[in-house]
């Protein structure tokens, strides 16, 4: 059971609307471990809800703390597990949430792909990751969300939209503070453009030409790079918003001088493309980080393209991008 079920149930009870709002507000605050603790509710309602519903659809199996980052393994009601991460910055805390259990895309450099795909997360399981973190970091709150945990959010479209609605309306996190990363599910990029939302879009690019990209990311065979770029150009002309292109630099895979010049040409083709260069996070049995980071940053600076080097968090506890995996 989860808050969406509770919500539907409350609707059916014909409670006064202020009670309904009060329960939701309490729930989303993450300040309560159970309905019994919500002492602003009548006692019989508290015990009634408690008997009917466990509070969260995720429960902690394990919590690891690194410098500026924490990673939780969370169990779902069917026994499967996901990982969820927070990163603490000076001004805010960002939660990196999962959208699926495992991932069907199997990108070569990513640990999550190695565990295969188990199932989509429900909207409640997505939102409950944030509520879980709010309860952990009390009195602080999660202020930003990135959909960069396990899974491909654009392959869990309906639940993603339902979760976003709750995140915006009930958790009060504005669109500009939310980012969604996709490996390039082209039809959904058009759909996303049509939403006319201010939610940030990030694309896992990782290679500037079709051959290298499809070798790294099998999904590129289904949605080739030229079609992906076409959809991104559509998105930027329709929304006038920037797109963040993610590029993890991998030794002898995507770090040659021809990759570099193709990357620069691609970035120059659209003013609204913004590159996030990422040092590859090591994954067991996987590729190695490139030593050409400096060569790339110098050339990109010289070429006057928009880019930044992504700060890497959490390697010590394997909570960095592409390192999330659960053994179930
Ligand atoms: N499926 C979505 C969401 C996952 S986001 C997507 O692919 O965008 C995880 C981000 O981490 C993506 O940008 C992904 O490409 C990146 N990533 C995966 N493995 C990585 C690794 N080993 N090092 C650095 N970044 C990695």
* Gap from CA of 119 to ligand 1 centroid (Å): 19
244 lines ligand 1 (CB under 6 A): no
11: tokens are 């609707």
Instruction: Report whether pLDDT(217) > 70.
Output: yes
**Using CA atoms, how far apart are residues 119 and 115, in angstroms rounded to an integer?**
12
pLDDT at 30: 81
Mutate to test the pocket of ligand 1, among 110, 149, 201 (most ligand atoms within 8 A of CB): 110
183 lines ligand 1 (CB under 6 A): yes
Instruction: Report whether pLDDT(3) > 90.
Output: no
**Would you tell me how many other CB atoms lie within 10 Å of the CB of residue 213?**
22
Mutate to test the pocket of ligand 1, among 183, 321, 325 (most ligand atoms within 8 A of CB): 321
The values of phi and psi at residue 125, to 5°, are -65, -30
Q: Which atom of ligand 1 is nearest to the CA of 146?
A: 5
pLDDT at 328: 45
> If pLDDT is split at 50, 70 and 90, which confidence band does 317 have?
low
**Nearest CA-CA partner of 28 in 171, 133, 162:** 171
Q: Write down the pTM of the prediction.
A: 0.93
pLDDT at 170: 87
> What's the Cα-to-Cα distance from 190 to each of 104, 216, 218, 262, 271, rounded to whole Å?
21, 24, 21, 25, 19
| 58-317 placed in CATH 3.20.20.70 | yes
pLDDT at 20: 87
The values of phi and psi at residue 149, to 5°, are -85, -145
Task: List every span in the chain annotated with CATH 3.20.20.70.
Answer: 58-317
Q: Are 147 and 179 in contact (CB under 8 A)?
A: yes
99 lines ligand 1 (CB under 6 A): no
**Would you tell me how many other CB atoms lie within 10 Å of the CB of residue 29?**
15
User: 70: part of which helix (H) or strand (E)?
Assistant: strand 69-76
Q: Are 154 and 120 in contact (CB under 8 A)?
A: no
| Model confidence pLDDT, tens digit, residues 79-135 | 999 999 999 999 999 999 999 999 999 999 999 999 999 999 999 999 999 999 999
The values of phi and psi at residue 190, to 5°, are -65, -45
**Nearest CA-CA partner of 88 in 164, 131, 141:** 141
Q: Which residues contact 18 (CB under 8 A, 6 or more apart)?
A: none
Q: pLDDT > 70: what percent of the chain?
A: 95
User: 102: part of which helix (H) or strand (E)?
Assistant: strand 100-102
| Model confidence pLDDT, tens digit, residues 254-275 | 999 999 999 999 999 999 999 9
Q: Which atom of ligand 1 is nearest to the CA of 152?
A: 1
**Using CA atoms, how far apart are residues 47 and 269, in angstroms rounded to an integer?**
60
> If pLDDT is split at 50, 70 and 90, which confidence band does 185 have?
very high
């Amino acid at each position: 059971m989860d808050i969406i079920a509770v919500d539907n149930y409350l609707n059916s009870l014909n409670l006064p609307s202020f009670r309904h709002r009060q329960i939701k507000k309490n729930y989303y605050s993450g300040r309560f471990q159970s309905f019994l603790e919500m002492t602003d509710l009548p006692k019989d309602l508290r015990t009634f809800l408690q008997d009917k519903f466990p509070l969260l659809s995720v429960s902690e199996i394990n919590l690891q703390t690194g410098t500026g980052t924490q990673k939780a393994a969370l169990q779902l009601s069917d026994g499967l597990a996901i990982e969820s991460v927070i990163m603490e910055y000076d001004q805010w805390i960002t939660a990196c949430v999962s959208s699926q259990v495992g991932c069907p895309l199997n990108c070569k450099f990513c640990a999550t792909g190695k565990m295969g795909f188990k199932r989509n997360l429900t909207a409640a399981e997505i939102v409950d990751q944030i509520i879980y973190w709010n309860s952990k970091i009390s009195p602080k709150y999660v202020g930003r969300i990135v959909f960069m945990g396990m899974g491909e959010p654009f392959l869990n479209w309906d639940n993603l939209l339902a979760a976003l609605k709750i995140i915006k309306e009930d958790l009060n996190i504005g669109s500009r503070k939310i980012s969604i990363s996709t490996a390039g599910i082209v039809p959904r990029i058009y759909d996303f453009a049509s939403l006319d939302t201010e939610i940030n879009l990030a694309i896992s690019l990782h290679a500037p030409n079709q051959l290298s990209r499809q070798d790294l990311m099998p999904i590129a065979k289904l949605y080739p790079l030229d079609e992906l770029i076409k959809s991104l150009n559509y998105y930027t002309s329709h929304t006038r918003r920037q797109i963040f292109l993610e590029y993890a630099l991998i030794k002898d895979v995507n770090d040659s001088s021809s990759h570099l010049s193709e990357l620069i040409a691609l970035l120059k083709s659209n003013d609204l493309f913004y590159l996030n260069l990422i040092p590859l996070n090591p994954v067991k049995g996987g590729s190695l980080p490139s030593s050409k980071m400096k060569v790339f940053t110098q050339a990109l600076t010289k070429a006057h393209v928009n880019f930044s080097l992504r700060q890497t968090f959490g390697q010590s506890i394997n909570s960095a991008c592409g390192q999330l995996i659960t053994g179930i």
